[in-house]
A = this chain, B = another copy of it.
Amino acid sequence: MQSRPSFATAFKGRRVLITGGLGFIGSNLARALVALGARVTVLDSLIPEYGGNRRNLHGLGRKVAINVADVRDRHSLPEFLRGQHYLFNLAGQTSHLDSMTDPETDLEINCRAQLTLLEACRKHSPGIRVVFASTRQIYGRPDYLPVDERHPLRPVDVNGINKLAGEEYHLLYSAVHGIRSTVLRLTNTIGPGMRVKDARQTFVGVWIRQILEGKPVEVWGGEQLRDFTYVDDAVEAFLLAATHPKAVGGVFNLGGVGRISLRDLAKTLVAVAGQGSYAVKAFPADRKKIDIGDYYSDGRLIAKQLGWKPRTTIRQALARTVDYYRKELPHYL
Contacts and interface: CB of A to CB of B under 8 A. Distances in A.
Interface of A: 100, 103-104, 107-108, 111-112, 115-116, 119, 152-153, 155-158, 161-162, 164-165, 168-169, 172, 176, 289-290
Given A161-B165, A165-B162, A172-B157, A115 B107 contact: yes
A168 B152 CA distance: 13
Contacts of A161: 165, 168-169, 172
B153 A153 contact: yes
A169 B127 CA distance: 34
A218 B157 CA distance: 44
17 contacts: A103-B119, A104-B112, A104-B115, A104-B116, A104-B119, A111-B165, A112-B112, A155-B168, A156-B172, A157-B172, A158-B169, A161-B172, A162-B165, A164-B165, A164-B168, A165-B165, A176-B290
A289 B116 CA distance: 22
Given A104-B116, A112-B112, A116-B104, A172 B153 contact: no
A111 B119 CA distance: 18
A107 B111 CA distance: 8
A172 B157 CA distance: 7
Most chain B CB within 10 A, of A155, A165, A169, is at: A165
Most chain B CB within 10 A, of A112, A158, A168, A169, is at: A168
A176 B101 CA distance: 12
A193 B264 CA distance: 63
Contacts of A115: 103-104, 107, 158
Contacts of A156: 172
Given A111-B112, A161-B172, A176-B290, 9 more contacts: A100-B176, A104-B112, A104-B119, A111-B111, A112-B112, A153-B153, A157-B172, A162-B165, A164-B168
Contacts of A290: 176
A165 B158 CA distance: 9
Contacts of A103: 115, 119, 169
Nearest to A169: B161
A290 B165 CA distance: 17
A288 to B, nearest CB: 11
A168 B163 CA distance: 12
Contacts of A157: 172, 176
A212 B164 CA distance: 44
A164 B161 CA distance: 9
Contacts of A104: 112, 115-116, 119
A172 B115 CA distance: 23
